[in-house]
Structure 1
């Protein structure tokens, strides 16, 4: 599991999506003290600058839709989002949850606690991204195994051979063609579907 070191904060590119008022200035000043590369943006743009790592997002009812759309268009896996809110009620909590924040900072913005919030939010984001990556690899592996199983079934039925022999055939052909076993399995499945289709089906 990846761990965030305090010195890593200096490498972060941060965008503060907040009006240029006293709270926006306080956010920018503290981020510069921490050592982050930060820029202030208001109102929310159509898209984030490329390479944005972290967003401190002012959460307002009137700009929420624009903020959400901007975040949806961001590069995957997306930035670490910290919400900046003026008050706490059920409606505001819904907005905060809707944009997928990892931490919340209340206004008026104070320097105390901001570093902790940033570190905790970024650490949780790193853990979440790592888990998503592992899930993606597992899903890809399971998908590949299903394709291999289907290709084996096709060869077993077509040539009346055992499962072991079918797998050996797929593996041997993959080595000859210098492709992965999964890619060979897909080729077998596609060829079988093509041969099985009737002229009128194409």
Structure 2
């Protein structure tokens, strides 16, 4: 990816900086604005993320642990990626970092150098995660449909003495006649709404 493409990726990126209002935060806010990001800053850590956020920079502070826990608990599958800002390492701090489920980590003292890379890594991680979740949803829907069709065939076989191929053909034929999916017909049969027909 060229430098122009990298900057295009970041231009207009909506970044929420959850960090105390200090000189360090001003450095980061200024750099984000210079590379074209739309930036807002909040502190202390809110209970929920506001709408319209693409990336979150989260300062990991031990005194904010309850707030960070509430924030993480309120995140859904489509939540933007978190970049954790860490000042030092000890067991309590590392535990809180892991709790925040970051896509990337930045160490203090904060500097503009490397921030662009971490933003791109976080966005790439988020896109892969969303794509993976979408694929999982498709598989779940497909498996659910297969289960319903199998149940409907079992009911037809029990009610009418159909063979498995006959039951399948019955569902397939009704789906074609109704111009709907076999899954819809299967649900009708399960709900006992499908009209009675003789085996083919």
Pairwise TM-score range, normalised by the shorter structure: 0.7 to 0.9
Secondary structure of 1:119 counterpart: helix
Provide TM-score, normalisation by structure 2.
Answer: 0.86
Provide TM-score, normalisation by structure 1.
Answer: 0.85
Residue 11 (structure 2) aligns with: 10
What pairs up with 1:152-167 in 2 under 5 angstroms?
A: 152-167=153-168
RMSD of aligned Cα (Å): 1.9
Structure 1: distance between partners of 2:63 and 2:181: 52
1:99-134 Cα deviation digits (max 9, x unpaired) = 110111111101111111111121122112111211
Structure 2: distance between partners of 1:187 and 1:73: 37
Runs of 4+ in structure 1 deviating by more than 6 angstroms, as ranges, are none
| Shift in Å, 1:75 | 5.2
What pairs up with 1:15-94 in 2 under 5 angstroms?
A: 15-74=16-75, 76-94=77-95
Per mean C-alpha deviation after superposition, the further-off stretch among 118-127 and 166-175 is 166-175
| Shift in Å, 1:143 | 1.6
Per mean C-alpha deviation after superposition, the further-off stretch among 102-111 and 173-182 is 173-182
Question: Is the alpha carbon distance of 1:8 and 1:86 closer, same or farther for their aligned partners in structure 2, counting shifts above 3 Å?
Answer: same
Q: Is the 8 A contact 2:72 2:100 kept in 1?
A: yes
Question: Is the alpha carbon distance of 1:138 and 1:39 closer, same or farther for their aligned partners in structure 2, counting shifts above 3 Å?
Answer: same
| Shift in Å, 1:19 | 0.6
Q: Count residues in correspondence.
A: 189
Structure 2: distance between partners of 1:62 and 1:187: 56
The unaligned stretches of length 5 or more in structure 2 are 194-200
The unaligned stretches of length 5 or more in structure 1 are 193-202
